Amino acid sequence: MNIKIFIFTFVWNNKYILPNFINHYQSQFENSKIIILDNESTDGSDKIAKKMNCTVLSWKTNNEINNKQLIFMKNNVWKSKKKKKNWIIVCDVDELLDINEKQLRKENKQGTTIIKTKGYEMIGNSKYSNLSDIDLTKITKGVESVPESKKILFSAFDIKEINYNFGSHSCSPIGNVVYSKTIYPLYHYKWLGIEYVVNDYIQKNKRRSRYDKDHGYGRHREKNRNQIENIYNDLIKQSVNVR
């Protein structure tokens, strides 16, 4: 039995990691449709997505990060797909869930409606902000992360409301809620190299909206280079092979 998977992800100037995201989910799910919610990218991310057969929808916030609007979209953008057999992934573009269509069909037959995950911070060793010296598919080391153990894959037919909190690190689903007994790895590709992370922090901190600043969202991006390097080096020390 084929089931349809709709994958919603949120993009802003992610051209260096976007192809890896698309390739991953297209290979894992033959019957999938990837919808890119593009937040006014200027680096050609939208063109990459279209070329790779994704649907691109524009999402405008006056070139700001606005978590109030983002969480509203994550909680509602998928609701047009609430038909039997439809499954939904709502995630960030640096999150790769290690489950395939065969495994999901099995979960569907067992009555599962939400997939449980174990999150990992993946650790890369790129020396450049454009990641030109590494192959993301070859990264194997990571550190287990409870905050990244997100519930990003669920049945649209059974779940009436997913109710993500800010950051989507937790949710309060309403409907026929049945969690999978199997826990699937969820890989977070953020710590790919110092230059990449520092540049990411700087650019996203510049885009923080007044709403986000007033509510403390994105405050971690105020860290300076030395603080980021300390976190990165600690993660390297803790990292083990996880895939």
Can you say how many angstroms the Cα of residue 78 is from the centroid of all Cα atoms in its chain? 15
pLDDT string in tens for the chain (243-residue length): 678 999 999 999 999 999 999 999 999 998 899 999 999 999 999 999 999 999 999 999 999 999 999 999 999 999 999 877 899 999 999 999 999 999 999 999 999 999 999 999 999 999 999 999 999 999 999 999 999 999 999 999 999 999 999 999 999 999 999 999 999 999 999 999 999 999 999 999 999 999 999 999 999 999 999 999 999 999 999 999 999
Q: What confidence score (pLDDT) does residue 1 get?
A: 61
Q: Which residue range is the domain that position 140 belongs to?
A: 4-241
- Please state, in angstroms and rounded to a whole number, the distance separating the CA atoms of residues 198 and 207: 15
State the angle between helix axes of 225-238 and 194-206 in degrees (0 to 180), rounded to the nearest 10: 130
Q: What confidence score (pLDDT) does residue 171 get?
A: 97
Least Cα distance to 139 among 187, 197, 195, 201 occurs for 187
Q: Is residue 114 classed as helix, strand or coil in its secondary structure?
A: strand
CA distances from 180 to 66, 70, 170 (A): 32, 27, 16
Number of domains comprising the chain = 1
Task: Report the CATH number at residue 68.
Answer: 3.90.550
Q: Is the dihedral of CA 209, 214, 217, 218 positive or negative?
A: positive
Q: What confidence score (pLDDT) does residue 85 get?
A: 82
CA neighbours closer than 13 Å in the CB half-sphere of residue 73 = 24
Task: Label residue 75 exposed, middle or buried (CB < 10 Å: 0-12, 13-18, 19+).
Answer: middle
> 13-36: per-residue pLDDT in tens?
999 999 999 999 999 998 899 999
